[in-house]
């Protein structure tokens, strides 16, 4: 009798695991999530579904709000302000715009690329749009995406960071204010959910990354050669 | 074959082992598919081959044990 109970218990547990699998399919069952990388643990289609109904899995939110410590690369190079993929590094006028696209699975805390004093924290834009980093949409006069622009003055010139929202991300938090002295790699703000961060650099700086490279906020050196005019 | 389904007041070890193996294999297939996005046909062939080998080993072990 004991053996039968044990067998039924084991089969019951296995049955429960299969029922969980069926309930969550095509998304991963909670039982196997821990063994999957973030992108496969919470597929994009599932996140977009959560965005529609406004309810998120707690484990995803924990991952999303994670804010790990970062070790800045040594030297005075300019650091990446955000985690993500470099999608363009084009010039317009005398400014080079390094566009970093963040995905749902990236850490969303932004960090200062340089040490210096915060000159301005400006709000721009009225619209929420996807592809906000393409075709310099963030420079538009009227319908440009909602964004915050932080200008940091260093001994060797100015650098600006734009925190831009997308259709999915509708909130930006900035954690520094005008006049504040900030350190290289210091946390400066956060965009909630997928979004874009643009780093504005003087034309004379030399880029250390290319389109398609993956960068980490406060850790990856993206440019060097910020020199006094 | 009597001992396969039922023996001494509990489920036979044959059917029990096959049921547990099949369930675990199903879940493992799902995990494997998620980690390695391979074509459905190849996944089915690989996992079906694995299941046949596993089930064969279970039946062989049962046969040897009850011979």
Angle between helices B40-66 and B13-35 (to 10 degrees): 160
* Residues of chain B positioned with their CB less than 8 A from the CB of A4: 9-11
Predicted structure pTM score: 0.79
Model confidence band, residue A171 (pLDDT cutoffs 50, 70, 90): confident
Asked if the model's pLDDT at residue A170 lies above 90, the reply is no
- Asked if residue A173 and residue A123 are part of one domain, the reply reads yes
- Asked if residue A107 and residue A57 are part of one domain, the reply reads no
**Residues constituting chain A:** 229
The model's pLDDT over B10-59, given as tens digits with 9 standing for 90+, comes to 888 899 999 999 999 999 999 999 999 789 999 999 999 999 999 999 99
- Asked if residue A58 and residue A151 are part of one domain, the reply reads no
Contact A131, A217 (CB under 8 A): no
ipTM of predicted assembly, 2 dp:
0.87
Contact A156, A226 (CB under 8 A): yes
CA of residue B48 relative to chain centroid, distance: 10
As a whole number, mean pLDDT of residues B61-65 equals 89
Three-class DSSP category at A27: coil
For the annotated catalytic residues of A, the residue numbers are 195
- Asked if residue A210 and residue A114 are part of one domain, the reply reads yes
Question: Out of B11, B26, B31, whose CB is closest to A4?
Answer: B11
- Asked if residue A189 and residue A95 are part of one domain, the reply reads yes
Q: Which structural domain range is residue A36 located in?
A: 2-64
Three-class DSSP category at A121: strand
- Asked if residue A85 and residue A45 are part of one domain, the reply reads no
Indicate whether A165 belongs to any domain: yes
A28: contact with B, CB 8 A cutoff: yes
Asked if the model's pLDDT at residue B1 lies above 60, the reply is no
| Cα distance between the two ends of chain B | 12
Strands in A221-224's sheet, in edge-to-edge order, are A78-79, A221-224, A206-207
* Residues of chain A positioned with their CB less than 8 A from the CB of B34: 28, 32, 36, 40
Question: Out of A1, A11, A31, whose CB is closest to B9?
Answer: A1
């Amino acid at each position: 009798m004991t053996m039968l109970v044990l067998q039924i218990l084991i089969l019951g547990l296995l049955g429960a695991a299969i029922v969980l699998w069926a309930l969550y399919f095509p998304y991963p069952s909670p039982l196997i999530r821990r063994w999957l990388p973030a992108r496969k643990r919470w597929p994009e289609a599932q996140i977009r579904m959560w965005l529609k109904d406004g309810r998120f899995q707690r484990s995803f939110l924990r991952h999303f709000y994670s804010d790990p410590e970062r070790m800045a690369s040594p030297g005075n190079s300019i650091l990446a302000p955000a985690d993500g993929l470099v999608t363009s590094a084009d010039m317009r006028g005398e400014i080079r715009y390094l566009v970093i696209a963040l995905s749902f699975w990236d850490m969303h805390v932004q960090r200062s690329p340089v040490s210096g004093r915060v000159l301005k924290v400006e709000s721009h834009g009225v619209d929420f749009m996807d592809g906000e980093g393409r075709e310099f949409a963030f420079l538009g006069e009227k319908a440009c995406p909602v964004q915050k622009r932080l200008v940091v003055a260093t001994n060797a010139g100015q650098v600006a960071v734009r925190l831009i929202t997308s259709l999915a991300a509708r909130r930006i938090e900035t954690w520094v204010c005008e006049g504040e002295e900030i350190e290289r790699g210091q946390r400066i703000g956060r965009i909630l959910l997928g979004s874009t961060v643009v780093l504005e650099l003087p034309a004379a700086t030399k880029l250390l990354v290319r389109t398609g490279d993956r960068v980490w906020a406060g850790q990856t050196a993206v440019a060097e050669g910020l020199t006094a005019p | 074959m009597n001992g396969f389904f039922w023996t001494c007041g509990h489920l036979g070890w044959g059917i029990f082992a096959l049921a547990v193996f099949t369930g675990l294999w199903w879940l493992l297939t799902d995990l494997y598919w998620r980690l390695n996005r391979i074509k459905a046909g190849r996944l089915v062939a690989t996992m079906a081959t694995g299941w046949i080998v596993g089930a064969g080993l279970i039946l062989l072990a049962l046969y040897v044990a009850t011979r």
